[in-house]
Amino acid sequence: MKLGPYIGKKRFWWGLVGSSLVNLRLFGLSLKSVCGPGLNCHGCPLAGVSCPIGVMTFSASVRTFPALAVGTVLTIGALAGRLVCGFLCPFGVLQELLYRIPTRKFGLPNWTRYIKYAALLLLVLALPLLLGYETSTEARLYYCKVCPKGTLTATLPYWFSGSAGGLFTGGGLAARLAVLVVFLALMVTVSRAFCRTFCPLGAIYGLVSRFAMTRVVIDNEICTDCGACDKVCPVELDVRREVGSAECIACGECIKVCPVTAISRKLGP
Amino acid sequence: MTAVRIAFLVACLALLAWGLLGESHTVHSLLVPTREMSGFEFSEAAARDGLTLEKSKLFEPAKPGDPQEDICYT
């Protein structure tokens, strides 16, 4: 299977494994008492595990600390950094497949990477904590209410099947759809647009990746500055400066193309 | 940095262990007696928006068959 420079075969198959793990209802299983490692809307009819961001948002809104969910995410981050983003996240696979659609491609200005930290702080933690939870309104702008992954895999299936019973109507639905359409368009034209700008789970993994037991490192003494790594980085990093940073999804594409093996994956403290 | 990485991993594992073994939330209900909810039960309830906060107390849905038992409001 030829998947092109931005998604290696191995990562594609890992992505399918990740998609299967979080959509356990495909196999008749439901384990929503545990959080999955990636962004996965637990409202999706196929979801078999909980979304850590969904649990955190809900917990903030009822002013409770979800130790299990936070502990799960931080432990995964401490062990693997952003490996989940690069290998297991189903939305990451979708983005890399959409990016293969032949259209004009664009880059993103560097400041856009900070939006995901703002989303984590405001839409996952601060606003739910301050405003509380109310089931009867769509007006509250929490992360789940605008999450394109949730709209794609939960809102739309319920809406089309008619089983939502008028739940998703009016301005709330329009806002969700608008955000989804914007991100789908961005995914086609900008590599890994959602991961780079709006994924709060990626923000958490990015914040802890500096302390992770698994990371991608570069030996600047061996590096010849050929720039081959920059050309294959799915998140368009200046690899020689930023590999292993909070923005690096540890996909290892740069490792594969480095002609002098200056970049490698390091395991352990 | 090595010591920081190890310390961070230990702290995360401790938090995870607390979540697995010690996390507890007092949940009130109009239907059943007040009970303690584990981290697993809380995650499962969060996944279906199955709790509300009233006067700083967690409550389970008042009515059996409340829509939030079946569908997440995401």
- Pairing of β B24-28 and β B35-38: antiparallel
B54 touches chain A (CB under 8 A): no
Domains of chain A: which residue ranges? 9-208, 212-267
Instruction: Give this prediction's pTM.
Output: 0.89
pLDDT at res. A66: 95
B56 touches chain A (CB under 8 A): yes
Which residues does chain B have within 8 Å of residue A34's beta carbon, measured at their own beta carbons?
Answer: 40, 43
CB-CB under 8 Å, B74 with A145: yes
State how far the Cα of A124 lies from the Cα of A161, in Å rounded to an integer.
Answer: 28
**Mutation choice for B interface testing from A140, A146, A173, A211 by most B CBs within 10 A:** A211
B65 touches chain A (CB under 8 A): no
The DSSP secondary structure of A191-227, one letter per residue, reads TTHHHHHT-HHHHHHHHHHTT-SEEEEE-TTT-----
Q: What is the CATH number of domain A212-267?
A: 3.30.70.20
Name which of A66, A78, A212 is nearest B43 (Cβ-Cβ): A66
3-state secondary structure of B3: helix
pLDDT at res. B67: 46
Domains of chain B: which residue ranges? 23-74
pLDDT at res. A198: 95
Name which of A34, A61, A269 is nearest B43 (Cβ-Cβ): A34
Contact partners, residue A238, CB within 8 Å, separation at least 6: A230
pLDDT at res. A248: 95
pLDDT tens track, chain A, 269 positions: 444 555 667 888 888 888 888 888 888 888 889 998 988 888 888 888 999 999 999 999 889 999 999 999 999 999 999 999 999 998 998 998 999 999 999 999 999 999 999 999 999 999 888 887 665 454 465 898 889 999 999 888 888 877 665 556 666 788 889 999 999 999 999 999 999 999 999 999 999 999 999 999 999 999 999 999 999 999 999 999 999 999 999 999 999 999 999 999 998 88
CB-CB under 8 Å, A135 with B68: yes
B residues 4..43 contacting A (CB < 8 A): 4-6, 8-9, 12-13, 15-20, 22-23, 25, 39-43
Residue that the structure tokens 């497949």 belong to: A97
CB-CB under 8 Å, B19 with A70: yes
Question: pLDDT digit string (tens) for A108-143?
Answer: 999 999 999 999 999 999 988 888 766 545 446 589
Question: pLDDT digit string (tens) for A233-246?
Answer: 999 999 999 999 99
Helix (H) or strand (E) holding A35: strand A31-35
CB-CB under 8 Å, A164 with B43: no
The mean pLDDT values, 10 residues at a time, for chain B of 74 residues are 94 96 91 90 88 85 53 49
**ipTM score of complex:** 0.86
Sheet strands side by side (includes B35-38): B35-38, B24-28, B57-59, B52-54
Name which of B16, B18, B47 is nearest A50 (Cβ-Cβ): B47
What b/e string do you get for A231-251 counting C-beta neighbours within 10 Å, with b at 16 or more? ebbbbbbebbebbbbbbbbbb
Name which of A68, A70, A154 is nearest B20 (Cβ-Cβ): A68
Name which of A59, A71, A154 is nearest B74 (Cβ-Cβ): A154
